[in-house]
Amino acid sequence: MKKWLMAVLFGTMLVLAACGGGGATNEDKSEPADEGTEEPAEDGGAVDTAAAEDAYKASCASCHGQDLSGGAGPSLEKVGADRTAADIEEIIANGQGSMPGGLLSGDDATAVAEWLAEHK
């Protein structure tokens, strides 16, 4: 019984060790950090593209697709052609259709809205 329990625990630890640690940063890589990821926003400010993409991938990509092409939610590939950053931020805050509101808030919601508004 003890051998079986030890084997199960060891196997579980092995699987968890193999699956974990996927969040490598530029500090962990030999590549230089991305520079110049900020782009001008509609209002003359700057959009931190990397931060916006990270927030999008964490909260939006499961429904709208990693490449904005859609899935359970609609495509966002050309959302900026129809909506302003303020419109998009309002949808993020309040939801629309089957999308719940509040999936992103604060600076993350603003950055993602401005980033998506650039997709025309």
Find the CATH number of the domain harbouring 45: 1.10.760.10
**Residue 13 assigned to a binding site:** no
Of residues 53 and 33, more confidence is placed in 53
**Residue 64 assigned to a binding site:** yes
Share of the chain above pLDDT 90, in %: 57
Residue 19 lies in a domain: no
In degrees, rounded to 5, the angle at the alpha carbon of residue 79 between the alpha carbons of residues 48 and 63 is 85
Residue 93 lies in a domain: yes
Domain count, the chain: 1
DSSP 34: P
The per-residue pLDDT for range 66-76, each reduced to its tens digit, is 999 999 999 99
**Residue 60 assigned to a binding site:** yes
Domain span holding position 106: 38-120
68 Ramachandran zone, left/alpha/beta (phi>0; psi -120 to 50): left
**Residue 19 assigned to a binding site:** no
Confidence class of residue 27 from pLDDT cuts 50, 70 and 90?
Answer: very low
| 3-class DSSP assignment, residue 100 | strand
Average pLDDT over residues 82-95: 95
